[in-house]
Chains A and B, each alone.
Chain A
Amino acid sequence: MALQPSPSFVQGTLLVVGGGISGMTVAIEAAEAGLDAHIVESSPSLGGRVAQLHKYFPKLCPPVCGLEINLRRLRANPRVHVHTLTTLQSLSGSPGDFEAVLQHAPRFVNDRCTACKACVDVCPVDRENDFDFGMSRAKAIYLPHPLAHPPRYAIDPAVCKRDDCAKCVKVCPVDAIDLAMKPTTTHLHVGAVVIATGWKPYDASHLANLGFGVHKNVVTNMMFERMASPSGPTGGLIRRPSDNKPPRSVVFVQCAGSRDENHLPYCSGVCCMASLKQTTYVRDQLPDASVRMFYIDIRSPGRLEDFFRRAQGQQGVTFERGKVARVTAADDDTVRLTVEDTLSGVVRDVDADLVVLATGMVPSVRPEQLPLKPRHDEVGFGVNDPEGTGIIFAGCAKRPLDVSSSVQDATGAALRAIQSNTRRASHG
């Protein structure tokens, strides 16, 4: 009786690995064109990195707005099949004719869950919340984020006490919790495979020279994004971690570990815009705080230049060309930066209450770790190779991109998925 997809003149099947904005876009766009699309996501929810963001540049609009529309399209479309807590175990075949084996890790919460929250109130486990980069605490049973899809709780098996506790099992009014759940596998035959595994932040623990891990008041851009979010660790208040006071001065350090042979030789393309955006968070919330940004080149391509101009127009926000060579502790609450002015060659010290490192993007999954070992470039991003595996890369698995460019790229990948299916048809 449930809604059946109507026939369409585009036909075929698609497997998308990754349920962030790129993967969701590939699946939804392809499904609306007529393909049956399976999204495989390793975490318990769709949404990926954009779910962690407070605002998008350059409109300073909320990511939940676009995410909601995409989820609405996805929920309403019987051609999209979502597999969370799932990984691609193996893959064989070629375009038009792939065999995939999916491995589903147990969620320990079944489809009956209504996200009523009763379980969270009784869960005794207190763990570091990785969604907030350790800046907040969470329970063993949790909803990954407010717009999580599916809107169902999941249990972190690494910290759950299972049968020794089982308080959630007793309190759940709909018998949704099953601590005995086991991993399962599914076999899928699909005409196209898209890898949209996205990115992770460059590991800032390599940046001790820039004070990360040395001084509490040195955070990464993604940590700062969580701090500014109303659903984040401080409820959206910008605070210096050492004493939770509002910072009087904030310094953004661009290319922290990027364009640097010792770290990432490439540029991540979005960190300039992200920092420009984050200067507006500080300006809106702390009108008296001084804000400085040290950069090598400001990269605000295309119409994003308007946003750079807008950021420059803010009172008390300065942009200085300079290379931050070293970050140390001035005292418990103050960070000292040693900055070389690359124009004059002058080296000077700058003190700040809060330092934000603009760290770059690293592919979440290296192509050589994937089945069939698709082609990759010298810095580890995937390369489309129609004559080779025929696996299609989309979004930040292919190159560092902002959200709009990821969506653009993912839409094109959806077309390639249709073509990949057509190949089978035309070959007989």
Chain B
Amino acid sequence: MTHPDAWLFLPPEVEALVPPLLARLAATGGGSPDDVERDLRYRIETLILEGDAEQWRAFLREAAEIVAEYAGDDAEAQRVLASILDDQFLLARAVVDLEGTDLDARRQLARAGATPPRGSRV
């Protein structure tokens, strides 16, 4: 049986990299990037301190939707985010079974440019 804390290996990369990038994308819908980033950081930390794997997966799906629906000019941020989030779904399979909504999110991320990191083939 998987330990209830086992999913906590997932958030650190997202906590470090995602808020500023996602803020750039999300802020196109209104609000300042700084405010969006601060709110994202707070939400991620709340999940780390109080959440569980299901809540984390729900957050990933939401983030994937923002990335997928983004229609602005920052294609590089969109592509990097899509790759990070897609890796999260791939890694999460070690602790939860992906469901149809997760697979939908992955398809969205693929359309948004998710690719393996440079030189990842070893």
Judge: A and B partners, yes or no: no
Residues of A within 8 A of B (CB): none
Residues of B within 8 A of A (CB): none
